[in-house]
């Protein structure tokens, strides 16, 4: 997760690489103190592109394969040319090399892939590395107070019925997600869980929702069905593999807000933040369950997976 | 309207001005052949900003007051600082001056107002001028074949129920609008009319829908209700004033696709394209009505209003 309202590092402390997604040019290290995008780039003009945010830890990105797979899927949903993954990975290596050489520590690495410039019709793309924003660690350590919020679109509009709605693609058109987070903060809350008709749980603006039940010998972790327009979570997927090995039953289900309220624990998962336990849901406190340490250890190992 | 898929002019033929929306710096002419945006600008990273597109004709922008009012409203919906309109107008003058001096003719002028850079937390903004894309003139001259498309969000999610949905704000998060236009073009169509529940007519991805009835002594022009998440059209509003003076009854109504099919004429209105008559709706041809010349003259005069 990378909530921009808490980032305050100077851009000079970032690494920026131009990917040149098409054509013959190799990935190119840019001066982070200079502008990089042309004014007619459709990333800025229309939010017309896709992105991924990867955790950087110990000088390497984590869950590269899962992020790559989702990136390819998002690009396909936007009819962007299939990303040349070798080139994106080379750009990632170049950015990390520079990041580490200039003393950068743990942080987040972002892929941005744009339809490109209006004037050239060539796709554009960048890899950037930035430090972990302070609010990310805070959410992990202290948990988050969350409000539920109607997402706004119909659940019966699936990507099959209205492919242009881009439900399930990780696009650069995140203004509504950011607006929901601002709304929460203006009400002294930390984060949001989007819901649909019938209080069906969807996802956070920048996270995947999971809940745990750990009682009467049942140990299960649940996450909302992907069918209802939920972005598949890379951390959640990695965690499911680890949790399954540890004896948890892991599944997707049509969860409601009532299910979350009755869970033993609810967490938001994302690559950089790893996890943030929901300490209050729409004002109702959720106590820290006995299984919390175990769940959070699983989430950490999942997010840090190579 | 400025469908990017048809623009192919070199960026050097554009004018670009940095507005510096906050702080003390005056609007500043930029070299259009150099990058203007930093990689951490939330316009590009999140589509987190608002825009307007104004017609440039005879060296001046048209309907400045209407665009300014909508720009202020969009900014407020995104919790952006209220734009300093004097500064935006000064930047517009500077861009037009340079545009005209360098031989630019009719075209479109765009305001882009972004939440700004992650690293500085200062809003950013630009004014750009570009030539009219060829497809714009073609739509005006030949009309457009249109498909209806479910917008994707619930009509019962108004801006009051879910303000974060940003319904009715002209945001930089236009990826879904662009996807709908691409979908239409891939089906050999030219444009889209978004619809909601019950085939309720909303708007085009970059236009306002109007229909005319001209029979049995009734001469009326109708446009969808704004209450259902339709962006107020500057050209439509200007046209309503002119059409009213010319004896047309002009109103908003809860229009359905059936109403459009039974109309004497249907048009898409937008600032730069002015008008494009719908020549076929979901495959059903719509003949050019007797009143078309009059309607299109009204739309032209409306779009060219000072």
Q: What is the pLDDT of residues A227-254, one digit of tens each?
A: 767 899 999 999 999 999 999 999 999 9
In a domain, B35, yes or no: yes
Are A77 and A210 in the same domain?
no
Structure confidence at residue A6 (pLDDT):
36
Same structural domain for residues A51 and A143? no
Nearest to B139 by CA among B231, B268, B298, B294: B268
Phi-psi region of A161 (alpha: psi -120 to 50; beta: other; left: phi over 0): alpha
- Is the residue at B166 inside a domain? no
B241 and B270 assigned to the same domain? yes
Closest Cβ opposite residue A47 in set B36, B121, B173 = B173
Point out the domain boundary residue: A109, A132, A155: A132
My answer on whether A107 and A155 are in the same domain is no
Q: What is the CATH number of the domain that holds B236?
A: 3.20.10.10
- pLDDT tens digits along A179-206: 999 999 999 999 999 998 889 999 999 9
Residue of chain A whose alpha carbon sits nearest to that of B4:
A118
Is B9 inside a domain boundary? Answer: yes
Judge whether residue B11 has pLDDT over 70.
no
Q: Rounded mean pLDDT of A260-269?
A: 98
- Residue A270 and residue A235 in contact, taking contact as beta carbons nearer than 8 Å: yes
Of A66, A97, A132, which residue is a domain's last? A132
Q: Are residues B107 and B147 in the same domain?
A: no
Flag if A182 and B164 touch (Cβ within 8 Å).
Answer: yes
Q: How many folded domains does chain B comprise?
A: 2
Both B152 and B297 in one domain: the answer is yes
CB < 8 Å to B35, chain A: 34-38
Q: What's the residue count for chain B?
A: 306
* Residue B214 in domain: yes
Place of tokens 């306002």: B208
B144 & B282 share domain = yes
Q: Do A172 and B114 lie within an 8 Å CB cutoff? A: no
Q: Which of A239, A217, A214, A244 is nearest to A299 (CA)?
A: A239
The answer to whether residues B144 and B54 belong to one domain is no
Residue A304: burial class (beta carbons within 10 Å; 0-12, 13-18, 19+): middle
Please tell me the distance in Å from B81's CA to the nearest CA on chain A.
Answer: 14
Question: What is the arithmetic mean of pLDDT over A214-237?
Answer: 91
Give the closest-approach CA distance of A78 to chain B in angstroms. Answer: 7
What pLDDT score does B1 carry?
A: 37
Question: Are B58 and B184 found together in one domain?
Answer: no
Predicted pLDDT at B161: 74
C-alpha dist (Å) from residue A187 to A180, A182, A184, A219: 11, 9, 5, 34
My answer on whether B149 and B283 are in the same domain is: yes
Amino acid A163: pLDDT: 85
Residue B57 resides in a domain: yes
ipTM of the complex: 0.93
- Residues of B within 8 A of A14 (CB-CB) are 39-40, 119
Q: What is the pLDDT of residues A12-68, one digit of tens each?
A: 679 999 999 998 999 999 999 999 999 999 999 999 999 999 999 999 999 999 999
Model confidence at B306, pLDDT cuts 50, 70, 90, reads low
Identify the pLDDT of residue B23: 87
| Separation CA B207–CA B187 (nearest Å) | 20
Q: Write the pLDDT tens digit of every residue in B256-297.
A: 999 999 999 999 999 999 999 999 999 999 999 999 999 999
In a domain, B27, yes or no: yes
Pair (B14, B125) in one structural domain: yes
Which chain B residues have a beta carbon less than 8 Å from that of A78?
175, 179
Contact flag A151-B171 (C-beta cutoff 8 Å): no
Q: Is residue B26 part of a domain?
A: yes
Range of the domain at A10: 4-132
The residue among A93, A113, A132 that closes a domain is A132
Same-domain pairing of B140 and B56: no
Q: What confidence category does residue B226 fall into, taking pLDDT thresholds of 50, 70 and 90?
A: confident
B46 and A172 in contact by Cβ < 8 A? yes
Residue contact A39–B42, C-beta within 8 A: no
What is the phi/psi pair of residue B200, to 5°? -70, 130
**pLDDT confidence of residue A243:** 98
């Amino acid at each position: 997760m990378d909530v921009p309202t808490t980032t305050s590092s100077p851009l000079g402390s970032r690494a920026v690489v131009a990917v040149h997604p098409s054509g013959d040019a190799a990935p190119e290290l840019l001066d982070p103190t200079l502008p990089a995008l042309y004014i007619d780039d459709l990333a800025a003009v229309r939010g017309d592109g896709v992105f991924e945010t990867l955790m950087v830890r110990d000088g390497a990105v984590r869950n590269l394969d899962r992020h790559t797979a989702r990136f390819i899927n998002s690009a396909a949903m936007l009819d962007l040319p299939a990303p040349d993954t070798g080139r994106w990975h080379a750009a990632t290596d170049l950015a990390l090399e520079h990041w580490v050489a200039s003393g950068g520590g743990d942080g987040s690495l972002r892929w941005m892939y744009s339809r490109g410039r209006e004037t050239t019709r060539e796709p554009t793309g960048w890899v950037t590395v930035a430090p972990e924003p302070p609010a990310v660690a805070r959410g992990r350590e202290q948990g988050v107070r969350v409000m539920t919020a109607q997402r706004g679109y119909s659940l019966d509009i699936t990507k099959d019925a209205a492919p242009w709605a881009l439900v399930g693609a990780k696009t650069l058109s995140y203004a509504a997600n950011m607006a929901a987070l601002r709304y929460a903060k203006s009400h002294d809350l930390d984060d949001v869980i989007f819901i649909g008709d019938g209080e069906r749980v969807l996802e956070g603006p920048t996270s995947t929702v999971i809940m745990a039940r750990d009682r009467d010998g049942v140990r299960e972790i649940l996450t909302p069905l992907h069918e209802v327009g939920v972005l598949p979570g890379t951390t959640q997927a990695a965690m499911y593999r680890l949790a399954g090995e540890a004896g948890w039953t892991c599944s997707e289900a049509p969860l409601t807000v009532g299910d979350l309220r009755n869970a033993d624990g609810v967490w938001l998962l994302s690559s950089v933040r790893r996890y943030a336990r929901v300490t209050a849901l729409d004002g109702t406190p959720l106590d820290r369950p006995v299984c919390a340490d175990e769940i959070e250890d699983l989430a950490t190992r999942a997010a840090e997976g190579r």
